[in-house]
Chains A and B, each alone.
Chain A
């Protein structure tokens, strides 16, 4: 028992609350201090993490004992890097936010802090009910962040986002309650703990409909085709720091849910629906990729490319193979690490193109900005999973896992790798290369406020490209959970 995780979990909220009382100018910087502190704690956690031990840093207390809901947190190979990623990416997001002016900055900082706590909580929870609480709590700050500080059509976008995710959340809430109640053994106490639930698997029939409810909620969050209707509007309207964390981290909560909840708790249903999920994944990959290169709006290129990337993650998960599962976790981290700098870069590009984020207004940005061009190039190549990047290793594991279990889906998905090259290089070229656009002011990255924010992320990307085993070695600790899946399939 340790309170270590609780410190990480609630630090952002505490600093967010402090920001409410800070002077206007310092409000966001207060939160930056909080996120940096959170990151420091996460790094210490990473250093103290022991590989191959299983669940660590466990906190387990009664919360609502009548309903069997426990305040139960823990870290293993599956969520370790997702927690670190969340702590890491909130820093550049808040710094980028602190560097510009906002209406009501105190409130903005407060909601950003709550949002981080909610995401961290969802990753840390080892209790289904607690997970649901944090999963739904995530929606609240983002509702305000997009709705209050978004673009012109923010109300429309927010409403759509909220309705989509709320429907998913409600279905998941129902499914979670049903799962807890139905797997309580006769005369036993109700429990929502993942470990307990995994010991009492349900019968096939009820697994199936529970699977559908969970899958709906998680696929909306990802988003996957065809449940991505909220994505274009939300991506266009949300403020940049907000969409940065949303795309890089929040979208991972959904696919994380598959690995933490659906696969271990509903194993038979996972096997039963494997091909359906693989088909959704493949369609998402191809559809997202093709749409990504027909977009002119920089944010939408990233939005649709995220659909494709999360399709790959989904593919790895539902290959139901240890390699695919680990590749999926690795790819969640990688995708977060590349999407965050890409959104920062969109911000930098927009500053240089009279505030517009459309590729039509860009071109030739590299002219007087070699550092920006280099940074963008590194991130773009990592995004398209060029061999030598950690993203490649992730995709390699995912593809190997998929080839191993269902080779046809893997082969079709391989086309997505080629398409990724097309849309990322196109994005890079239309912004950076070709004749200098008429409205472009080519200016290199400012050392402090621009390069300083993005450089650490790029260094992390490069370092992981050289030594991806740093992640894989620790993710390996969760292999036993995924390994169970094929065996369960055999039992059936």
Chain B
């Protein structure tokens, strides 16, 4: 079987899973849907490996293939095929997505076991994986947009999975609308590319056409690239389209791990890597993208310092880390950006799983102010969480250390504008190390809270279910979290998933140790062979210098956190007292939500009311309808006066009519 045939199978398995689970919801018993879904993803992963092996058999220059199933839309000059494009980049993404998804599926089987929506959950989850794989394997920009929107829909469904919570549905619609903004931007970008790059929608066609039809840094090209960036930023929660991601934490925790950390939100990084030939032709657009991404990585890190909701801290951390990847891929450091995408998938999924464990032990409470001392009662979670935090902080020798510093080292090497980005990145790294261990120290260290104490006594804590946002009590029927939702790290599937990810976080860096193993770079090279940055990577010595600096910064951040929270608790309170303005700014996420509310939401709602009560009633009903009614009324009143009801009235009219006619004909005749 060819690589493309395997790739089609990669798509087929999750789709089949969705359909079987979706249609069989009434008959599939117990945990069967969960295991069925997991096995489908495992099969997809296996097929992705098979496709990769097939592809590696070819000569490096020939490692790309496309395949079209049928014409999706073919008329009036547009020719869109339902096609896939397989090359090292899409295979890399497919491997990461299906691999991490499999682990999260397995984790979910335990985590969601008591939820009344168990089957629905796995149907959605399989649909998500199908969509994500469609996105990364798509062979042209229209199919990409289809996958792009499908993941958005899956994300919406899973954010508002507990749909009887009003907070969850509000978060869902917010995420959906923000994502649609991205979709629209992509459609417009697709048009600009189609029109100006020789009427192609396939990647190969667009890239070939762009070289001949676009001159360097042309206005249209910049516009197209910036629209792609808007799409990427909406999906990847970068400034200024980021406000949906923290709210998206309303979804079940494994969903946050899968969609809102490991896979979907990194789709923007994939998009920019995929369209790198265009960005390289439009350095202005690439620089804007990188600049905004750098701003995001710093902004999100500051929010993560101040927010006290455990899942939201990790969410802001995700935004920040995606900022690194964006900086990487838009400045030409594709290997670094994608490498960080992979390691981030590992450690961020791991952190979310750990957070899920803790939140379960807290019976749904997510506020780290109320947590503490879980170190003893949840040893396994503690260890894996620390591994995740060390990797996030970029500590030596964990995977994040290699990947983050590869991006920053590349940008230092390029110098100029990129050097500024790198400096922002290093500053962000310091904050990252600090907030990672802020989580660790505040959740796991310190005095044990009552929940931790009862776990230490061996009681599995069953609290009443409360909505973490509003504190309202909830029942455990459909549409709310199930009864024994998160009793943590209790079952083998969860431990298996967390353990595997922890191991991957530790050893994941091995695929790209500068000067020792350049496996990832060699693997991805065929995709980026045409890049002008292909030989721009820094020397091995410079790489190692960067790595050592990075490790030093991580160590500094961790030490600071240690001092602030363990050695001298209360330091942070003092800082807050000194800088109340800064703290308020960070806690309120720099007031973006309020700004959007004032700029978009309220004006639109006001306009809607204005339309409903003023335009409709005064103008359309009053002037148009009323005016028409009055004209008709006046006309009929006139006609009514002729209808006297007296016979002779009619007779007179008739006589006048006939007389008039006769006169007319007489006059005509003469």
Contacts and interface: CB of A to CB of B under 8 A. Distances in A.
Interface of A: 160, 163-164, 167, 226-230, 232, 287, 290-291, 293-295, 322-323, 325-326, 364, 366-368, 370, 374, 377, 381, 384, 386-388, 392-393, 396-397, 399-400, 403-404, 411, 414, 417-418, 421-422, 425-426, 429, 432-436, 467-469, 472-473, 475-476, 479
A217 to B, nearest CB: 15
Main secondary structure of the interface of A (DSSP, over half): helix
B183 interface: yes
B74 A472 contact: yes
Interface string B140-162: 00100110111001001100100
Given A226-B624, A294-B605, A400-B194, A287 B611 contact: yes
A387 B76 CA distance: 19
A195 B163 CA distance: 56
5 contacts: A226-B620, A228-B620, A229-B620, A433-B164, A434-B166
Interface in B54-95: 70-78
Residue among B73, B184, B607 with the highest chain A CB neighbour number at 10 A = B73
A132 B328 CA distance: 64
A471 to B, nearest CB: 9
B609 interface: yes
B149 A290 contact: no
B176 interface: yes
Contact of B608 (A290, A366, A386, A432): A290
Contact of A476 (B76, B612, B619, B620): B76
A387 B620 contact: no
A291 B72 contact: no
B117 to A, nearest CB: 9
B608 A294 contact: yes
A366 B479 contact: yes
B172 interface: yes
A232 B195 contact: no
A291 B611 contact: yes
A293 B608 contact: yes
B53 interface: no
Residue among B25, B187, B477, B616 with the highest chain A CB neighbour number at 10 A = B187
B188 A411 contact: yes
A140 B360 CA distance: 65
Interface in B75-130: 75-78, 120
Nearest to B117: A370
B609 A294 contact: yes
Given A291-B616, A387-B146, A418-B180, A433 B73 contact: no
Contact of B616 (A232, A386, A418, A429): A232
Given A291-B612, A295-B612, A418-B177, 15 more contacts: A164-B628, A226-B624, A322-B77, A364-B164, A367-B164, A377-B157, A387-B142, A396-B187, A425-B172, A425-B177, A434-B166, A434-B169, A467-B72, A469-B71, A472-B73
Contacts of B619: 226
Nearest to A374: B22
Nearest to B120: A370
B465 to A, nearest CB: 14
Given A291-B611, A472-B75, A414 B191 contact: no
Contacts of A399: 187-188, 191
Contacts of A374: 22
Interface string B170-205: 001100110011011001100100110000000000
| List of 3 A-B pairs having minimum Cβ-Cβ separation, nearest first | A294-B608, A387-B149, A476-B75
A399 B183 CA distance: 13
A418 B75 contact: no
Contacts of B77: 322-323
Contact of B191 (A370, A386, A403, A433): A403
B454 interface: no
Nearest to A396: B187
A370 B607 CA distance: 35
Contacts of A294: 605, 608-609, 611-612
Contacts of B608: 290-291, 293-294
Contacts of B120: 370
Contact of A400 (B78, B163, B164, B184): B78
A468 B611 CA distance: 36
A426 B479 contact: no
A160 B629 CA distance: 9
A387 B625 contact: no
Given A226-B619, A367-B164, A370-B25, A422 B173 contact: yes
B235 to A, nearest CB: 13
A290 B177 contact: no
A472 B500 CA distance: 48
Contact of A469 (B25, B70, B187): B70
A393 B73 contact: yes
Contacts of A228: 620
B571 interface: no
Contacts of A476: 75-76
B545 interface: no
A367 B478 contact: yes
A414 B611 contact: no
A475 B191 contact: no
Interface string B618-648: 0111001100110010000000000000000
B604 interface: yes
A421 B180 contact: yes
Given A163-B628, A387-B149, A473-B74, A429 B173 contact: yes
B73 A364 contact: no
A377 B520 CA distance: 41
B30 to A, nearest CB: 18
A23 B110 CA distance: 60
B73 A468 contact: yes
B163 A433 contact: yes
B191 A426 contact: no
Given A387-B149, A400-B191, A434-B166, A414 B25 contact: no
A381 B157 CA distance: 11
A417 B180 contact: yes
B384 to A, nearest CB: 34
Contacts of B195: 403-404
A365 B98 CA distance: 34
Contact of A386 (B25, B76, B149, B611): B149
B624 A433 contact: no
A115 to B, nearest CB: 25
Residue among B148, B176, B195, B619 with the highest chain A CB neighbour number at 10 A = B176
Contact of B150 (A160, A388, A397, A411): A388
B481 to A, nearest CB: 15
A429 B172 contact: yes
Given A163-B632, A434-B164, A469 B73 contact: yes
Given A381-B153, A479-B75, A403 B188 contact: yes
Contact of B621 (A229, A370, A400, A417): A229
B208 to A, nearest CB: 21
Contact of A435 (B156, B166, B184, B605): B166
Contact of A434 (B142, B163, B607, B612): B163
Nearest to A364: B164
Nearest to A422: B177
A248 to B, nearest CB: 23
A467 B615 CA distance: 41
Nearest to A325: B76
A366 B163 contact: yes
Nearest to A321: B76
B176 A421 contact: yes
Contacts of B181: 418
A489 to B, nearest CB: 17
A400 B201 CA distance: 12
A403 B567 CA distance: 63
Contact of A368 (B71, B478, B611): B478
Contacts of B25: 370
Contacts of A226: 619-620, 624
A403 B632 CA distance: 42
A368 B184 CA distance: 35
